[in-house]
Amino acid sequence: MALNDIHTPVLLERCVELLAPALAADGAVLVDCTLGMGGHAEAFLERFPNITLVGLDRDLDALAISRERLARFGDRVKLVHTVYDGIDEALEGLGIPEVHGILFDLGVSSLQLDEAERGFAYSKDAPLDMRMDATSDLTAETVIATYTEHELRNIFQKYGEEKLAQRYARKIVEARDARPITRSAELVEIIQAATPAAVQRAGHPAKRVFQALRIEVNQELSVLEDAIPRALDSLAVGGRIVVLAYQSLEDRIVKKDFQKVIASTAPAGLPVELPEHAPLFRALVKGAELASDDEKAENPRATPVRLRAIERVRKGTR
């Protein structure tokens, strides 16, 4: 993929605006926990010549593209092949005790969506892979081939919030008993055949199933549940974190963890809040911010985004 074909980063200007105060000092460290093809990272390195950027990604193809794209910044860039719940180990390995900015741009990347052979898109026929990290073992094909009907129904319900989960799981098991299901088009055909016409008119019936399979293959929600607290613990006082989430399951996890640390821990009825009960963080935005109509028109991938951001105001543990 040519570097000039790389897509525009989502909410780039808002991310820069929110993180800028934390990145002003010489020696500031920004961690891009979802480096992807380096769009956000490149912009920050250009605009803040004083910072060091630590880029994390589980996708070796993405790391190779970013390594080329960011090569001109030399030793200001440290790239680590890891899932983002490995942020603490990555920083320890680099000898970095605390950081000043953290960015999460969650979900599937442009690279993964646009390369049909990765199998993420229900609109393109490809092997049922869906691995963000090609070195991992579990694929969507393995899930479809080996999970029980009950297990398939559960992941479609839990990770896809799919109302027809039971029907789809049953039809998949029936189909695989006749022949293996190895390609995305085969799975889409099964789902479409099992979907009432009225439901099909409301949107592509495979969307939620493919989302559920992707989350299961990459353990995205459990990884995120571990990653956010570890990221918060790594922030220096005055450090800021910005998270971009694209579906409600991710956003709920981020919201819960942020609300926990921006709240006082003082017992109910205590007349005066003691210093040790004061919040560790403060909110930088009210609730979750959405992309503007102009941004959505310019960059359709920003349409579902929910942005949350907080700042560490004092030392302490949750």
**Per-position DSSP letters for 193-204, written without gaps between them:** HTS-HHHHTTS-
Claim: this prediction has a pTM higher than 0.75:
yes
Question: Tokens for 205?
Answer: 């019936």
pLDDT at 120: 85
Sequence-distant (6+) residues with CB within 8 A of 282 are 262, 310, 311, 313
Residue span(s) of the chain under CATH 3.40.50.150 come to 3-111+220-312
With bands split at pLDDT 50, 70 and 90, how would you rate the model's confidence at 158? very high
Closest CA to 144 of 123, 124, 119, 161: 119
Measured CA to CA, the distance from residue 259 to residue 84 in angstroms comes to 21
Please write the tens of the pLDDT for every residue from 70-107: 999 999 999 999 999 999 999 999 999 999 999 999 98
CATH architecture group of domain 3-111+220-312: 3-Layer(aba) Sandwich (3.40)
Measured CA to CA, the distance from residue 71 to residue 312 in angstroms comes to 31
Measured CA to CA, the distance from residue 249 to residue 211 in angstroms comes to 11
Q: Are strands 235-245 and 77-81 parallel, antiparallel or unpaired?
A: unpaired
User: Which of 50-54, 59-63, 110-114, 131-135 is most confident?
Assistant: 50-54
Sequence-distant (6+) residues with CB within 8 A of 196 are none
Please write the tens of the pLDDT for every residue from 276-313: 778 999 999 999 999 999 999 999 889 999 999 999 99
pLDDT at 203: 85
pLDDT at 7: 64
Measured CA to CA, the distance from residue 54 to residue 60 in angstroms comes to 15
End-to-end CA distance of the chain: 43
**Is 38 annotated as contributing to ligand binding?**
yes
pLDDT at 269: 65
> Is residue 271 predicted with pLDDT exceeding 80?
no
Task: Decide if 75 contacts 15 (C-beta within 8 A).
Answer: no
- φ/ψ (deg, to 5) at 117: -65, -10
3-state SS assignment for residue 129: coil
3-state SS assignment for residue 278: coil
**Is 200 annotated as contributing to ligand binding?**
no
Measured CA to CA, the distance from residue 81 to residue 176 in angstroms comes to 35
Closest CA to 97 of 236, 229, 232, 242: 236
Measured CA to CA, the distance from residue 207 to residue 163 in angstroms comes to 12
> Is residue 34 predicted with pLDDT exceeding 80?
yes
With bands split at pLDDT 50, 70 and 90, how would you rate the model's confidence at 111? low
Residue span(s) of the chain under CATH 1.10.150.170 come to 117-218
Mean pLDDT, the chain, whole residue set: 92
Task: Decide if 231 contacts 33 (C-beta within 8 A).
Answer: yes
Sequence-distant (6+) residues with CB within 8 A of 75 are none
**Is 112 annotated as contributing to ligand binding?**
yes
CATH class of the structural domain 117-218: mainly alpha
Task: Decide if 168 contacts 162 (C-beta within 8 A).
Answer: yes
pLDDT at 114: 65
**Is 122 annotated as contributing to ligand binding?**
no
**Is 5 annotated as contributing to ligand binding?**
no
> Is residue 24 predicted with pLDDT exceeding 70?
yes
